[in-house]
Chain A
């Protein structure tokens, strides 16, 4: 993660994957659960602000709701000279300049970048705000959750992801956190980039279909572009037989497979019953695989953390 001042940041794992529905959230929650069983204090960030599902699956109530506000221009009629520069620079064309009248802003299109405010030669633009979503917190055992939620029919999800990160940094400053786990949105767009940025390692969760393969390649390309090291998890690996294409892609992008999770009705049952917290790995092969992956990652983390004085 990027700067939070002087404090050394805990090891950060981002769970991503490209395709939707491959098991990102399941993996993120399982890592958090097994890390906490091993005595680690975990911060679990839900950066899939379109579809935030972590608290739902852990069956924990989110609290401490905070608004995510972004800048929205408000024009001072005493100062505005109707020069139209604000409209010219607006990258979204959200400002309509009208002759001898105050400009008109389309709130649905404005992303709150503040270019208009910075360019205005008369200092006629004041800060107003619009709400684009909310962030929340929750705690279950040693797992601290920070979650974001995009307001319905708002498009500015990136700002909500940024707000989840800001809130998480504050949490890290003020409490003892050993490991950070980030659950990203599907896809390989700007929200995913924001969520991944600054992580120590990314875990790409995929499935053995051509859809999974295609989207895994996109996300591995993105991770290479961002200089992020990665591991791949193949979920429901036995769903399709002899699907060895993934191994080749993983090699091509200098990643490696850290684990394979079988198709497991027990996982499905616990997922649907929202009983994913503190599960014993003994209950099924799937949970055993998830625990093994967690242990491997924990080894990675310990190696990275130990040398620090």
Chain B
């Protein structure tokens, strides 16, 4: 079994559309796959890979303070010490109030409280959903509660949940990752065998690609690049190629700008299912052949 993570640095370059197309192509080739969405801030893969919802479980990866108004003396120590400015107190309130979206769950308020009025309680801060897709494979999708923290932990939990569904017949786990190069992106590529970078020839995408490739270096795994919208700008495309060569990355394929990609999102199906004979679908097929040999 091999694990692939699809990441990009910059958002909106086509990670999810390409992930769905790769998953669909692998299913056509009768490969046993598990597909995972770790873009926990904006999990969109299930919009393209439709199926039946099997399980939707809340997950707890953080704690939040709960203040007992009976024990609270309104001393305000917790409010002053909170570095996240998540607690506030007004004289007419019986106890400080929490802005949950600002709280980072450090628990210092509990430590400092002189009357033990603060307890830390488990906070559901996300969901893991398992779908049985119409293509015969399972899709496991992680989702962070809105405004939540600890997205890296949710990514980890989502992957662990996905691995439960693997067995010795599983060929691949395909992970559609988040944008950026921070906590959830690092968690996404931390235990995979190959990193697949989706990018486009714009200066911002190149800049952000460099950052995520640098993240990958800590993990000592091979990396391949898919250049989406490659005909957007020739000079930047050449710069991008130069960078890819200088980093010993493999060019897996290049996809021209085409409105079949946004239109496939509107239809809600992988682009290569809607347009099986389109040159882009052929390119996806070629990319999958290379990926399978990595």
Contact = CB atoms under 8 A, between A and B. Distances in A.
A2 B83 CA distance: 13
Contacts of A53: 10, 204, 207-208
Interface string B12-25: 11001000000000
Contact of A89 (B10, B107, B183, B186): B107
B182 A150 contact: yes
A197 interface: yes
B278 to A, nearest CB: 18
B52 interface: no
Interface string A38-76: 000000000001110100110000000000000000000
B108 A197 contact: no
A209 B63 contact: no
Interface stretch (B68-76, B157-165, B210-218, B245-253): B210-218
Chain A binding site: helix, strand, loop or mixed by DSSP?
loop
A113 B42 contact: no
Contacts of A152: 181, 211, 214-215
B149 A239 contact: no
B106 A113 contact: yes
Given A20-B12, A209-B266, A188 B146 contact: yes
Q: Chain A interface residue count: which class?
A: 35 or more
Interface string A102-137: 000000000101110011000000000000000000
B106 A240 contact: no
User: Which of A51, A89, A155, A210 neighbours the largest number of chain B CB atoms within 10 Å of its CB?
Assistant: A51
A276 to B, nearest CB: 11
A22 B12 contact: yes
B265 A51 contact: no
A188 B143 CA distance: 11
A58 to B, nearest CB: 11
B58 interface: no
A240 B151 contact: no
Given A51-B207, A113-B108, A271-B202, A91 B63 contact: yes
Given A56-B204, A91-B107, A210-B268, A187 B232 contact: no
Interface in A180-196: 185-193
Contacts of A239: 259, 262
Contact of B146 (A214, A225, A271): A225
Contacts of B151: 187, 189-190
A210 B102 CA distance: 29
Nearest to B154: A189
A22 B268 CA distance: 19
Contacts of B215: 152-153
Interface in B175-193: 178-183, 185-186
A20 B147 contact: no
A214 B203 contact: no
Given A155-B186, A222-B101, A240-B263, A189 B147 contact: yes
A186 B11 contact: yes
A271 B229 CA distance: 15
Contacts of B47: 210-211, 214
A225 B147 contact: yes
A57 B203 contact: yes
B9 A51 contact: yes
17 contacts: A20-B10, A21-B12, A21-B13, A22-B11, A22-B12, A53-B207, A56-B203, A91-B105, A113-B104, A114-B83, A186-B11, A188-B42, A189-B144, A193-B102, A193-B147, A226-B147, A269-B233
The 8 closest A-B pairs by CB, nearest first: A21-B12, A20-B11, A187-B41, A50-B180, A113-B106, A155-B183, A190-B149, A20-B179
Interface of A: 2, 18-22, 25, 49-51, 53, 56-57, 89, 91, 111, 113-115, 118-119, 150, 152-155, 157-158, 185-193, 197, 207, 209-211, 214-215, 218, 221-222, 225-226, 239-240, 243, 268-269, 271-272, 274
